[in-house]
Amino acid sequence: MKKSGAWLVRYALEQIGVRHTFGIPGVHNTEIYDELNNSEIIQPILVTHECGGAFMADAVSRTSDSIGCLIVVPAAGITHAASGIAEAFLDGIPMLVISGGVRTDGMAYQLHDMDQHGLMAPITKATYKIERQDQIIDTIYRAYELAIGGEPGPVFIEVPVNISLFRDEVGEILPYHAKNTMEEFSPIGGRELLRKAAIKLSEAANPGIFVGWGAVDATAETKAIAEWLAAPVSTTLQGLSAFPTKHPLHTGMGFGPAAVSAARNAFKQCDCLLAVGTRFSEIPTGSFGCEVPKNLIHIDINPAVFDANYPTAVAIQGDAKIVLAELYNELCQIMPSPRDSNILQQKIASDKADYKNEWLVHNVRDKVNPARLFHQLDKKVGDDVIIVADDGNHTFLTAELMPITKPRYYISPTDFNCMGYCVPAVIGAQLANPQALVCGIVGDGAFLMTCMELITAVSMNMAPILFVFSDGELSQISQTQALPYNRKTCTVLGPLRAEGIAMATGAEFLYMADNRQIDAVLDNALQLATGDKPVIVDVNVDYSKQTQFTKGIVGTNLKRFSLSDKARFIGRAVKRKVIG
């Protein structure tokens, strides 16, 4: 049987459950796009920029059971998409990246001729180059299994244009059959390690639990262990949705100096920490400011994370959902009944209320208090909203002030930390969850990077809401510049009229000037979100109060300075303050 490479690409993607592809057609992939147009399963999405397409694919993978898929041109398409691919790689998000390639039967110095595999190797789990049509289906199946297996991540496949255009003998075409991976992801080390972990947790006076994105599908198991042990639960930034904010044992993001008081107090005397699906990377540890007890039980599917930043007492490699279920069974055998957590719950609730009230009373005339905005948004939408945050000051405001109650209902860029993520990721999340309300929280600087991707949302008749926190600055950095430098270098933006962007893209537009308008503007935005156009809400945000995260990391990093460097920085700041 003879088939073109493009037909084989479409068939394989349909078989593995791809429902949308993202990218821009060009001379090296037009045949693939023509085949995708014939598909009754896959909808190819035209984006305005391949980086936006990568963020959309990332959001599909984070918020659904389908894998995000890019179909891009070689060279420029790949370099444009590289930031989004790298974000997925560092955050452990599965993605298929399929690029056209120059002819393998042609001359040298072709258009878009470059070593794409050298570029992709550091930011993907693997790269493949197709040499014959009969390799395509098996390669895509293998790439898919690699992308979703172990610690997930992107995989790159190059399909040269002559392979996609022309037909050749391919032999038998086989449908995809998913492998049973339960045995692969069961705990390595077995009962002995589980028993050891359970004993340490049962003997601890103040056990604590720290969960990341790797535990996002193990919420029920985490709850069961937390309630049995009467243990407080903290999350990473990426793992905010791994444990519901409104659970009485939830304390917040992190547990060190950069965490809110509920987490700092609950983990102050922690003598045994159960960490699940986290790498103890820079953001969740508050610039590595956390103190981790010597009894650290670390569960992760990737053994490379063990002992990387903090030494483990017990390291268990395996899938979080499987390992936690077995660990819970061990605990129940050792501890015949659950511990009483009433006092701990009351303290957590009190600390949370105090922190929220501290924000609610901090009002600046003619500005919008972000805590009041999040409070009212939560009252109006409750648990039924997917929150997509970008990178910036608003990210940590969201983490500290906006309740997240369902798994995979919060996503944001984390370890690669890309600005510009929110607008396209909102579109990807909405495509993957057409019945859900999707709201983006984005600073004005990050919004400027990818705001024209709203044209894609308009063309798809989608109606997510984007809250643009406007203060005219790159505030996360400008706030950290203020004290040591007493100046803001390259962090003050040019004038932005977001209403003009709404007009240019066809989106709806609302302006929220101050606290008095919060209710009315939210009601209007939610009503517009029942229509078929995205909604931009330009929020005149008050950033004058710092998040605990910002204060915490500044303090942590300052402690690392030598006395002479502290004196130099403080002296320079004072001098600039005096002379203006």
In a domain, 573, yes or no: no
Q: Are 140 and 5 in contact (CB under 8 A)?
A: no
Nearest C-alpha neighbor of 542 from the set 388, 360, 418, 384: 360
0.85 surpassed by pTM = yes
- Please give the pLDDT value at position 180: 64
Task: DSSP for 371-411, please give it.
Answer: HHHHHHHHHHHTT-EEEEE-SSHHHHHHHHHS---STTSEE
In a domain, 355, yes or no: no
In a domain, 574, yes or no: no
Q: What is the Cα 177 distance to its own chain's centre?
A: 29
Residues 114 and 222 in one domain: no
439/410 Cα distance (integer angstroms): 10
- Please give the pLDDT value at position 421: 98
Domain boundary among 323, 347, 371: 347
Contacts 24+ apart (CB under 8 A), 491-497: 493/444, 493/445, 493/448, 496/444, 496/447, 496/448, 496/470, 496/472
Structure tokens at 86: 């790298």
**Helix, strand, or coil (residue 110):** coil
Domain boundary among 134, 152, 179: 179
Which residues of 195-313 form beta strands (DSSP E)?
207-211, 233-235, 250-253, 272-276, 296-300
- Please give the pLDDT value at position 102: 87
Nearest C-alpha neighbor of 518 from the set 398, 357, 369: 369
- Please give the pLDDT value at position 491: 83
In a domain, 231, yes or no: yes
Residues 408 and 471 in one domain: yes
Residues 316 and 458 in one domain: no
Residues 306 and 426 in one domain: no
In a domain, 578, yes or no: no
Residues 534 and 456 in one domain: yes
Residues 324 and 369 in one domain: no
Residues 40 and 70 in one domain: yes
16/179 Cα distance (integer angstroms): 12
**Helix, strand, or coil (residue 292):** coil
In a domain, 375, yes or no: yes
263/347 Cα distance (integer angstroms): 10
In a domain, 562, yes or no: no
When divided into structural domains, the chain yields a total of: 3
What are the per-10-residue average pLDDT scores of the chain (580 residues)? 94 98 96 96 98 98 97 96 98 97 85 92 98 96 97 97 91 86 61 95 98 98 98 98 98 97 98 98 94 97 96 96 96 95 98 97 94 97 94 95 97 94 98 97 96 97 97 81 78 89 97 98 97 97 94 86 82 74
159: CATH = 3.40.50.970
Residues 210 and 325 in one domain: yes
Residues 497 and 394 in one domain: yes
In a domain, 194, yes or no: yes
Burial of residue 357 (number of CB atoms within 10 Å: 0-12, 13-18, 19+): exposed
Task: DSSP for 297-319, please give it.
Answer: EEEES-GGGTTSSS--SEEEES-
62/88 Cα distance (integer angstroms): 10
* Identity of the amino acid at 372: R
Taking residue 531's Cβ as centre, other Cβ atoms within 10 Å add up to: 12
User: Which residues face 274 on adjacent strands?
Assistant: 209, 297
Residues 314 and 404 in one domain: no
**What Cα–Cα distance (Å) separates residue 503 from each residue in 446, 500, 534, 552?**
19, 5, 12, 40
221: CATH = 3.40.50.1220
Enclosing domain of residue 295: 183-347
Domain boundary among 150, 179, 208: 179
Residues 174 and 190 in one domain: no
Structure tokens at 468: 């643009």
Residues 288 and 385 in one domain: no
Nearest C-alpha neighbor of 301 from the set 151, 434, 170: 151
Output phi, psi for 232, to 5 deg.
-65, 150
- Please give the pLDDT value at position 183: 52
